[in-house]
């Protein structure tokens, strides 16, 4: 497998999720992790979802990150179709500030987990960092990138606030 083959699969329910999910891709790029990003809706494109999730592991993906809003069924439905870890990013929609999507993702039935992150940009960034932590367990290059990412982040925090 070529080094640039994606090992993280990012899926999102709609083009409207991209502004948030772009932060996942930017963070994975900082971490040097190859990814692919697709629009797949649990409700509007169910066949696309089943084909994608059922083939994900055999195609070499190690973690799936799913962003969705409103009913936010995408990560849960993907988790039902693959043994890969699935991380969910709730979109901050107009309704309840994204609380609807957060609860939909977190409240999975026992046995089919979705690792649910914070609503919106913070969750999109953290999904990438958490994916790196998972992959780093068996990948020394990603482990080194993650160590550097965290060290750079720490070094970037000023000791005192300024105007
Ligand atoms: C969800 O419905 C998507 O993940 C999106 O967050 C939300 C609204 O989709 P659009 O109507 O903007 O396409 O499935």
Residue 83 pLDDT grade (very low, low, confident, very high; cuts 50, 70, 90)? very high
Atom of ligand 1 nearest to the CA of 91: 6
The confidence score (pLDDT) of residue 54 equals 98
Ligand 1 pocket test, candidate residues 12, 16, 38, 73, most atoms within 8 A of CB: 16
Cα distance between residue 134 and residue 122, in whole Å: 18
Mean pLDDT of 2-29: 94
Beta strand segments in the chain, E: 8-12, 35-39, 63-68, 86-90, 115-116
Question: What's the gap in Å between 83 CA and the centre of ligand 1?
Answer: 25
Q: What is the mean pLDDT of the chain?
A: 96
Mean pLDDT of 75-91: 98
Kindly tell me if the per-residue pLDDT of 113 is higher than 50. yes
Contact 58, 32 (CB under 8 A): no
Question: What's the gap in Å between 93 CA and the centre of ligand 1?
Answer: 9
Token pair of 142 as six digits: 């990603």
Cα distance between residue 17 and residue 67, in whole Å: 7
Neighbours of 124 (CB within 10 A): 28
The DSSP string of 101-148 is: HHHHHH-PPTTS--EE--SSHHHHHHHHHHHHHHHHTT-HHHHHHHHH
Atom of ligand 1 nearest to the CA of 13: 4
Smallest CA separation from ligand 1 atom 9, residue: 14
Question: What's the gap in Å between 73 CA and the centre of ligand 1?
Answer: 11
Buried b (16+ CB within 10 A) or exposed e, 8-45: bbbbbbbeebeebbbbbbebbebbebebbbebbbbeee
Residues with CB under 6 A from ligand 1: 13-14, 16-17, 41, 68-70, 91
pLDDT in tens, 57-67: 999 999 999 99
């Amino acid at each position: 497998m070529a080094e640039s083959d994606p090992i993280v699969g990012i899926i999102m329910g709609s083009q409207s999720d991209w502004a948030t999910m772009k932060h996942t891709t930017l963070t994975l790029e900082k971490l040097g992790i190859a990814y692919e990003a697709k629009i797949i809706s649990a409700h509007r494109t169910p066949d696309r979802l089943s084909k994608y999730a059922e083939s994900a592991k055999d195609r070499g993906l190690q973690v799936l990150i799913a962003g969705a809003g409103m009913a936010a069924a995408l990560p849960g439905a993907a988790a039902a179709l693959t043994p890969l870890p699935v991380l969910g990013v709730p979109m901050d929609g107009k309704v309840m500030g994204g609380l609807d999507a957060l609860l939909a993702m977190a409240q999975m039935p026992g046995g089919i987990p979705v690792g649910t992150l914070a609503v919106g940009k913070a969750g999109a960034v953290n999904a990438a960092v958490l994916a790196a932590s998972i992959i780093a367990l068996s990948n020394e290059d990603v482990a080194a990138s993650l160590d550097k990412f965290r060290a750079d982040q720490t070094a970037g925090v000023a000791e005192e606030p300024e105007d």
